Structure 1
Amino acid sequence: MKIGYARVSTDKQDLTAQINELVALGVDPKHIYNDPGYTGTNRQRPGLDQALAAASHPGAEFVVTKLDRLARSIRDAKDIADQLVANGAVLQIGRSAYDPNDAMGKMMFNIMATFAEFEADLIRQRTKEGMAVAKARGRLKGKKPKLPANQEKRLVELHATGEHSITELAEDFGVSRATVHRAVQRARSHPSR
């Protein structure tokens, strides 16, 4: 049985091309699992877990269109491939099957995994550079505060009395406990605000 897996990094991207290619590779659409909005560097993906579980028996074929859809790091790619092989399943990348006992196949797999990781590193680097440029131009302001300044000031004042717990303040102001902690920390760091 062929089990297909497709992934895109954001919810705005489309899985159609990958799904069509998986079907062309012989995967029944009922056996295609996907993760829209998950990066390949995130190993905690529900669709991937389901696909691996479905392919956890001898003779199963785990199919991806490209290795970077499966993993964006050498370690993850190797771990996933090793898990499949240990279960007696075959990893198929496009039209090629990964054979861990074939020296050439092993080398090609490692090269593809290296490129997938390299590409992920380049994306991170470009994102960092773009954010630095935006910040220098004053276009990157950070997240909008959860509370307006007057409400945050009141929250901090109430906390300072010692009469209200963090949980109570979070409930009263309709924010998370972490937001209360950050507001109190900001007040301590900048008492003149």
Structure 2
Amino acid sequence: MSGLLIGYARVSTDEQDLTAQRDALTTLGVAPERIYVDHGLTGTNRARPGLREAMAACRGGDVLVVTKLDRLARSLPDARDIVAELTAREVKLSLGGSVHDPTDPVGRLLFNVLAMVAEFESDLIKMRTREGMKVARAKGRLRGKKPKLSPRQESHLVELHHAGAHTSAELAELFSVARSTVYRAIERARPAAPSAS
């Protein structure tokens, strides 16, 4: 009796979608209920609940299926550890439909190259993120959230408030902001309030 196909999919951020990976795994023959996922976790993080469940679901003779190696691991040591664990348990690994044979020298070489590329890509992403933050900091852009109101809008809001023509709720609607933004603007203008009235 041939083993089961167990699928694993992962995306690094909560904004990313798993649909493409799920569809690819289904196309490769994995039943939807046997697909385990991790959402918002990087491949460099080995403590992934979805991966743990997928590994636990595998029995001898089964095949763990991933669309690409970088979904499984983002570092060479991790990729090797996972394969060693699967091999010891007589579980095969399928990368996009191609079953990896750890006893084949060419297969092993290809696997190591793919793992090194995944690790390299991960390092590049980290480096670009650090560089982007450094540039943003240098340009003064990395100072928290952008204010909801421009200085001119804020002073207009405060003037309207002092005129007493609108409630805080109406001001919030008028300027398309939350009521808390209105309160903060009024609070900031408080020392200047006597002269403005």
TM (norm. structure 2) is 0.71
**Residue 124 of structure 1 aligns with which residue?**
126
In the other structure, the counterpart of 1:67 is 69
Q: Distance between the aligned counterparts of 2:15 and 2:26, measured in 1?
A: 22
Q: Does 1:3 align with 2:6?
A: yes
Equivalent residue number for residue 57 of structure 2: 54
State how many pairs are aligned: 142
Aligned structure 1 segments of 4 or more residues deviating by more than 3 angstroms: none
Q: What's the counterpart of residue 149 of structure 1?
A: none
SS in structure 1 at match of 2:140: coil
Write the letter of the residue equivalent to 2:54: A
Alpha-carbon distance between aligned partners in 2 of 1:140 and 1:41, rounded to the nearest angstrom? 26
* Local SS of the residue matching 2:127: helix
Q: Does 1:103 align with 2:105?
A: yes
> Partners in 2 of 1:48 and 1:142 — Cα distance?
34
1: CA distance, partners of 2:36 / 2:54: 6
Q: Secondary structure at the match of 2:9?
A: strand
Whole-angstrom CA distance in 2 between matches of 1:88 and 1:41: 25
* Partner Cα separation in structure 1 for residue 89 and residue 143 of structure 2: 49
1:45 to 38, 44, 48: 48
Q: What is the distance in 2 between the residues matched to 1:48 and 1:25?
A: 18
Which digits, 9 at most, give the CA deviation of each residue in 1:21-66, with x for residues without a partner? Answer: 00000000010000010000111100000000001x2101000000
1:69-91 C-alpha deviation (Å, 9 max, x unpaired): 00000011110111111101000
Larger radius of gyration between Structure 1 and Structure 2: 2
**Separation (CA, whole Å) in 2 of partners of 1:42 and 1:59:** 27
Residue number among 34, 38, 56 corresponding to 2:37 in the alignment: 34
Alignment of 1:169-184 (within 5 A): none
Q: Report the alpha carbon displacement of residue 141 of structure 1 after superposing the two structures with TM.
A: 2.5
Residues 160-175 of structure 1 mapped to structure 2, 5 A cutoff: none
Give distance in 2, aligned partners of 1:139 and 1:48: 37
RMSD: 1.0
The sequence identity of aligned pairs, in percent, is: 59
TM-score scaled by length of structure 1: 0.72
Find the aligned partners of 2:97 and 2:36 in 1 and give their Cα distance: 18
CA distance in 2, matches of 1:61, 1:40: 20
CA–CA distance in 2 between the matches of 1:12 and 1:24? 24
Deviation at 1:95, TM superposition (A): 1.5
Question: Where in structure 2 are there 5+ consecutive unaligned residues?
Answer: 146-197
